[in-house]
Amino acid sequence: MTSLAAQSPLQEASRSKKHIDPCVLVIFGATGDLTGRKLIPAIYNLAHEGQLPAHFACVGFARREKTHDQFRQEMLAAVNEFSRNRPVNKEVWDTFNEHLFYHQSEFDDDDGYEKLRTFLEQIDKQHGTKGNRVFYLSTQPSYFPLIIEKLNKHKLTYDINQEQEKWSRVIIEKPFGHDLKSAQELQKDISQHLDESQIYRIDHYLGKETVQNLMVFRFSNSIFEALWNNHHVDNVQITVSEEIGIGTRGRLWEEAGMLRDIVQNHMMQLLCHVAMEPPTSLKADSIHAEKIKVMSALRPLPLDDITKTAIRGQYGPGYIDGKDVIGYRQEGNVDPKSSVETYVALKIFIDNWRWAGVPFYLRAGKRLPKRVTEIAIIFKQAPGYLFQSNAKGHEPNTLVIRIQPDEGISMKMNCKIPGFSSVMQPVKMDFRYGSYFGSTPPEAYERLICDCMAGDNTLFARADEALASWRLLTPLLDRWAAEKPTDFPNYASGTWGPKAADTLLNNDGREWRLI
């Protein structure tokens, strides 16, 4: 569907603001945690920043009985607690409130969808939302095919070939399947009812400011891009570390584990952004094409000696911030003999011209000493003969892209300590988003919801990307499922993971970066 923006004489080409058509956003699973913690605060923030279209409404869809007013009250409390714009601006909320609704139905109830259609048509008339729809599936993944089928059956989504005057889009939360086979089946199910251009697989890491900046950083700074290859890079380390445990997610975690929850989606997307070639343009298709090339070049994990490339771990009791914490097996809704991993370390190779021979080390863990997500590019050592007597101070240059918290970029280099001797010391140049540009950049969900409403899927994962990631990791999942670990729990809470993860790098003559 062509946007009307181009036809308006009031639109100026040089103004880059995205045009967003009038629309209704329907959130399935509206009583869930994500809706209150992230989605509604994000939509409120968009309203606060003036980013929502003039004609907009939001409908929560869930199974619990609730009135519009009850839902609004709950969402107001959630925004007050979780929004980056606090306290809530009464005037903004009062206006937003009038556009917020609740619809109760079971996910499999045809009558509920029929009533939803009637309700949305009524909203179209009252709020001028023109029949445009975004459906956000914030439910358990097992409901995705069912909801999409029902949406299609009740003409809530539209045939892409007939989307002339109005459009429909569906946002799907992770995980997209739980292995390659299930992801392929899910893709088959939903593609019966939706075109790929209507599907938005959300990965909130891609909405983070630093991840978006990665492309700008790489492709608008010639010095870094010139060094971004196997001639200069020794290894790349991607870390997603959390000090929290699994909390109340015991049941879900027992079915997922770290490889599925973090590595398959977030970390593989980060890997693609670090490793991809410059796209021919900033259009979504060009960027997706480059990411899929990286995915296609991933070397399958050698399963004959898996401990040389993949390490799993599970946290035991320990200390976080000086306080006792329980181990994974003591958490609620967790099997006391569970073999589910809460830590993963991988060594991955990308078999292409640029990255041949450069290991990408990925580690993700729960109950590690601190919360940090970062990408570290560790460069090769300069020839050391000049400074051999200072070997300890002579460290490789390291470029660190911090994704959270304290978004920013730092560069480590060697420097002479002032004085008569030639002692060296590594020093850091540090750029922090918070210091330069204020402390409250938009939340990832704000950017992503806004992009979906504007029809821009650049920051969403395409089906082939998700499938390629599963293709790499499913054999490992199968292997781990077949071979139960005998040493779990193998790391104490508050430490940097199992010893074997250190050995993984030590065997290559390297170490994990000290964070």
At a CB cut-off of 8 Å and minimum separation 6, what does 265 contact?
Answer: 174, 175, 176, 203, 205, 461, 466, 469
Cis geometry, peptide bond prior to residue 87 (ω within 30 degrees of 0):
yes
Judge whether 266 counts as a catalytic residue. Answer: yes
Instruction: Identify the three-state secondary structure at position 24.
Output: strand
Per-residue contact flags (x/-) with other proteins for residues 49 to 68, judged by CB under 8 A: xxxxxxx-------------
Residue 381 binds to other proteins (criterion: CB under 8 A):
no
CB 49 within 8 A of CB 43: no
Number of Cβ within 10 Å of residue 122's Cβ equals 11
Among 161, 222, 436, 482, binds other proteins (CB under 8 A): 436
Residue 22 binds to other proteins (criterion: CB under 8 A):
yes
DSSP state, residue 233: E
Please give the Cα distance from 410 to 475 (Å, whole number).
36
Contact window for other proteins (CB under 8 A) among 34-42, 123-131, 194-202, 274-282: 123-131
Residue 86 tokens read as 């606090």
Residue 48 binds to other proteins (criterion: CB under 8 A):
yes
Q: How far is the CB of 167 from other proteins (least distance, A)?
A: 14
Instruction: Identify the three-state secondary structure at position 393.
Output: coil
Residue 309 binds to other proteins (criterion: CB under 8 A):
no
Please give the Cα distance from 485 to 170 (Å, whole number).
39
Residue 509 binds to other proteins (criterion: CB under 8 A):
no
Among 2, 10, 322, 383, binds other proteins (CB under 8 A): 10
DSSP state, residue 300: P
Q: Which is nearer to other proteins, 8 or 296 (CB)?
A: 8
Q: Which is nearer to other proteins, 8 or 507 (CB)?
A: 8
Half-sphere exposure (Cβ direction) of 372: Cα atoms closer than 13 Å: 19
Residue 220 binds to other proteins (criterion: CB under 8 A):
no
| The three-state (H, E, C) secondary structure of 208-229, written as one string | CHHHHHHHHHHHCCHHHHHHCC
Q: How far is the CB of 24 from other proteins (least distance, A)?
A: 14
Residues across the chain: 515
Residue 438 binds to other proteins (criterion: CB under 8 A):
yes
Residue 130 binds to other proteins (criterion: CB under 8 A):
yes
Residue 126 binds to other proteins (criterion: CB under 8 A):
yes
Residue 349 tokens read as 């190779």
Q: Which is nearer to other proteins, 88 or 461 (CB)?
A: 88
Residue 336 binds to other proteins (criterion: CB under 8 A):
no
Residue 308 tokens read as 């040389």
Q: Which amino acid is at 2?
A: T
Q: Which is nearer to other proteins, 4 or 415 (CB)?
A: 4
Residue recorded with tokens 């607690």: 81
Number of Cβ within 10 Å of residue 334's Cβ equals 20
Bridge partner residues of 206 (DSSP): none
Q: Which is nearer to other proteins, 218 or 432 (CB)?
A: 432
Residue 439 binds to other proteins (criterion: CB under 8 A):
yes
Q: Which is nearer to other proteins, 353 or 437 (CB)?
A: 437
**E strand or H helix that includes residue 323:** strand 323-325
Q: How far is the CB of 44 from other proteins (least distance, A)?
A: 13
Residue of 55, 178, 193, 266 with catalytic role: 266
Among 381, 422, 435, 506, binds other proteins (CB under 8 A): 435
What is the distance, to the nearest Å, from the Cα of residue 190 to the centroid of all Cα atoms in its chain? 21
Residue count at the site for other proteins (CB under 8 A)? Answer: 40
Phi and psi at 201, nearest 5°, equal: -85, 110
Residue 432 binds to other proteins (criterion: CB under 8 A):
yes
Q: How far is the CB of 215 from other proteins (least distance, A)?
A: 18
Residue 15 binds to other proteins (criterion: CB under 8 A):
yes
Q: Which is nearer to other proteins, 165 or 185 (CB)?
A: 165
Residue 443 binds to other proteins (criterion: CB under 8 A):
no
Q: Which is nearer to other proteins, 50 or 336 (CB)?
A: 50
Contact window for other proteins (CB under 8 A) among 46-54, 142-150, 464-472, 496-504: 46-54
Please give the Cα distance from 123 to 134 (Å, whole number).
14
Q: How far is the CB of 16 from other proteins (least distance, A)?
A: 8
Please give the Cα distance from 412 to 402 (Å, whole number).
13
CA distances 321 to 90, 288, 318, 331, Å, are: 37, 41, 10, 19
Contact window for other proteins (CB under 8 A) among 13-21, 262-270, 284-292, 415-423: 13-21
Q: Contact positions toward other proteins, by CB under 8 A? A: 4-5, 7-15, 17, 19, 21-22, 47-55, 89, 91-92, 95, 126-128, 130, 432, 434-440
The residues that are catalytic are: 266
